Every structure is written in C-alpha cells, then in structure tokens.
C-alpha cells in the first residue's frame, strides 16, 4: 500500500490516512508505521498522535526521535490545532458551541459523556444544514480523549453517520463519516496549516455536502489539498 504524502519536511511528514486503516498493528503482520517507513526508504518513523481506525484524514509522523519528542509535546500541550469534519442525519440540540464533560468508559469499548468536569473533554463545534436530515459539522477538539468527537456528537443528539458504536442502525453506511481535515501548528520557527478533503465515502460526494464544504468558512489560509 502506498500512502499519499501531503507535506514532507526534514523532521516530519503529514500523510492521508484512509478510513479503515488502524494506526496500530491490530494483529496485522505489518503496521502503518512500518509501511510508511518502507515507502520512504527509512528505518523508522514515529507516531506522535492517533486517529481512530474509522477516521480518515491527516496524520503527522516524525522522522527522528528528537522531533518525535518535540511534536508529542506540542500535542500534549494542545499547541497543534486539529479540525475535523463529520456528517450526521440528526439535528443537534444547538447549532454551535462547546461540549464539555468528563468521559467514563461503559460497555463494549464505548465511552459516555458525564456532567462532571474534573478532567473534561472539550470540543468546539459548529454545524450547517446540507439538506433535509443531513448536517455538516466542523469539530475542533481542545483535548485528546479516546473517542472524544464521536461521544461529543452523540451527546448532541447527532451521532455520526455510519458510527455503529455510537449511532443506531448505521451499518448500512459505507463508512463512519468522521474526517481529520486540518492541522495548524508552529514547528522549528515555521508555521504550518494543511487541509485535505475526505476521499472515501459516497455521502461526502453529495452535491449538498460539497456545496457547504466549498464555502470553507473554517479554512482561513490553509494549504488545501483536494
């Protein structure tokens, strides 16, 4: 498998991770980092953040141990801004705002948003109607909790299309419609702002969704890859 490389520097690369590809081995003989190392012809690359298996989009990987430590620190300190796109068939309780709450693990590997705020997950969101029973969401996580965005969407009453863990009767969809679209950060004195549109999924290609994405009010000066 060959990955699309959207940006390459001496210390890191940003690739497009397809949906359905795990960042961990998951029992596979060869994992994602090893595949990328082979593609680049290097001994090793370093994973500095993660995307769920069902999530497509931008994945940043370090090319040496020093940059891996520095980039991991930027993620830990929330100095790398991430923007996701999601689709839902349900209207949210409110169109935009913040979702804040502690997360507690429940059955079947799922998580639940709670009212407590001891160590809360924080997500900023906005949404727009594409057509009847279809909304586009722009999600910006301010923390990095497991399944944070999927749980946040469920808490709004708008589970992500195709999310069989947090939605209902969604197995008919061709994917979970969550996509890591944009990364913004500063590293070694240089500012980076990269965007990639989702490539897989019939619902991303709906005319009404493409029209709303084309407005791109959330992109600013992103270096756009489509």
How far apart, in whole angstroms, are the C-alpha atoms of residue 113 and residue 153?
A: 10
At 226 the pLDDT is 32
At 218 the pLDDT is 53
How far apart, in whole angstroms, are the C-alpha atoms of residue 204 and residue 213?
A: 9
> C-alpha 170: how far from its chain's center?
19
Q: Tell me which residue has tokens 């069989």.
A: 164
Strand partners, 149: none
Cβ atoms of 122 and 100 closer than 8 Å: yes
163 as an active site residue: the answer is no
Domain hosting 96: range is: 4-225
What domain count does the chain have?
Answer: 1
Neighbouring C-beta atoms of residue 157, cutoff 10 Å: 12
DSSP state, residue 91:
-
| Residue-by-residue DSSP string for 86-127 | EEESS--SSSEEEEEE-EEE-GGG-EEE-S--SS-EEEEEEE
At 11 the pLDDT is 97
Q: Which is nearest to 14 in space by CA: 185, 203, 208?
A: 185
Catalytic residue among 11, 52, 102, 174: 52
At 223 the pLDDT is 45
pLDDT by residue for the chain (226 residues), tens only, comes to: 899 999 999 999 999 999 999 998 766 668 899 999 999 999 999 999 999 999 999 999 999 999 999 999 999 999 999 999 999 999 998 999 999 999 999 888 899 999 888 899 999 999 999 999 999 999 999 998 989 999 999 999 999 999 989 987 666 789 999 999 999 999 999 999 999 999 999 999 999 999 998 886 555 444 433 3
**Is the pTM here over 0.95, yes or no?**
no
DSSP state, residue 159:
P
Strand partners, 56: 179
At 221 the pLDDT is 47
- Residue 48 is part of a domain; what is its CATH number? 3.30.2350.10
């Amino acid at each position: 498998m060959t990955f699309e490389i959207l940006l390459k520097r001496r210390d890191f690369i940003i690739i497009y991770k397809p949906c359905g590809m795990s960042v961990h081995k998951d029992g596979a003989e060869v994992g994602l980092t090893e595949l990328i190392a082979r593609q680049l012809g290097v001994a090793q690359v370093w994973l500095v953040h993660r995307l769920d298996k069902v999530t497509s989009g931008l994945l940043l990987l370090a090319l040496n141990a020093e940059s891996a430590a520095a980039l991991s620190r930027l993620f830990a300190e929330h100095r790398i801004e991430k923007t996701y796109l999601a689709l839902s068939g349900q209207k949210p309780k409110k169109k935009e705002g913040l979702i804040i709450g502690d997360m507690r693990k429940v059955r079947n590997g799922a998580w639940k948003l709670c009212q407590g705020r001891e160590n809360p997950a924080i997500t900023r969101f906005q949404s727009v109607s594409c057509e009847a029973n279809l909304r586009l969401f722009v999600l910006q996580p301010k923390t990095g909790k497991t399944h944070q965005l999927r749980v946040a969407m469920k808490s709004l009453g708008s589970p992500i299309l195709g999310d069989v863990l947090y939605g209902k009767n969604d197995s008919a969809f061709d994917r979970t419609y969550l996509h890591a679209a944009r990364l913004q950060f500063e590293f070694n004195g240089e500012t980076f702002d990269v965007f990639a549109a989702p490539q897989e999924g019939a619902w991303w290609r709906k005319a009404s969704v493409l029209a709303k994405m084309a407005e791109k009010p959330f992109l600013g000066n992103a270096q756009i890859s489509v």
